[in-house]
Structure 1
Amino acid sequence: MARHRIFGTPFAAIYPHYIAKAERKGHTAEEIDRVISWLTGYDETGLKRTLADETSLEDFFAQAPEPNPNASLITGTICGVRVQEIEDPLMQKIRYMDLLVDEVARGKKMTSILRGS
């Protein structure tokens, strides 16, 4: 199976879009950082380093310090696809992150977004 081109996309290329989406809806970069940190375990320093290093999404998730074991509790639809049904583990993680960002932008409560954490 061919590798999806999004896997090689630098995290730094999509991160500003996440921030812009949240800010357009009256939310903050800190909220986006919090959900990304919850999903991956990256702290502020780690996130900044991945942005500066132009780390690919594939490496971003492969090098995640502490992937959240509750990520499998994330359910919903992104781009018409149910995230819990995505077979490729890397694509599923990317879509989990997309869905979390969407939930922040929609104003969902942070306790709900973080699956009760």
Structure 2
Amino acid sequence: MSGHRIFAMKFSKVYPMYVQKAERKSRTKDEVDEIIRWLTGYTQAGLQKQLDKENDIETFFAQAPAMNPNTSLIKGVVCGIRVEEIDDPLMQKVRYLDKLIDELAKGKAMEKILRQ
């Protein structure tokens, strides 16, 4: 593992930024939560528990109940890098979440964001 510094960041510090990004574009915290639950398999209570524990991003994804099997359908560019070509599995999960939140902020319908 490369030990990228983002892995050590507390998820509870990144989460409000996702919510703010969505809300600036007239989307909701509930939609952000739905995306996170879809991606990671957390329940709403499980997500809240992770936020309360202030786990780092690496732990947040390591303790995720089950990554959605449709993550392979998430394609596109985040920070100039194609998410489907990222070699580090943890970084790929982080960028998947970034990509989904970007799609939400760009006004995509939830059905498309959740690959349904």
User: TM class by shorter-chain length?
Assistant: over 0.9
- Shift of the alpha carbon at 1:8? 0.9
What do the CA deviations read for 1:9-68 (whole angstroms, capped 9, x no partner)? 111010000000000000000000001100001111111111110111111111101210
Alignment partner, residue 57 of structure 2? 57
CA pair 89-2 structure 1, distance change in 2 beyond 3 A: closer
In the TM superposition, 1:59-78 aligns within 5 A as 59-78=59-78
Structure 1 unmatched ranges of 5 or more: none
What code does the residue aligned with 1:88 have?
D
Unpaired stretches in structure 2, ≥5 consecutive residues: none
TM-score (normalised: structure 2): 0.97
Moved over 2 A (4+): none
With structure 1 as the length reference, what TM-score do the two structures score? 0.96
**Deviation, structure 1 residue 2:** 3.8
- In 1, distance between residues paired with 2:104 and 2:92? 18
Separation (CA, whole Å) in 1 of partners of 2:41 and 2:25:
25
Opposite residue 84 of structure 2, the aligned amino acid is: Q
Q: SS in structure 1 opposite 2:111? A: helix
Cα distance, 1:98 vs structure 2: 0.3
CA distance in 2, matches of 1:49, 1:63: 11
Name the residue aligned to 1:41.
41
Number of aligned residue pairs: give it.
Answer: 116
Aligned residue type for 1:102: D
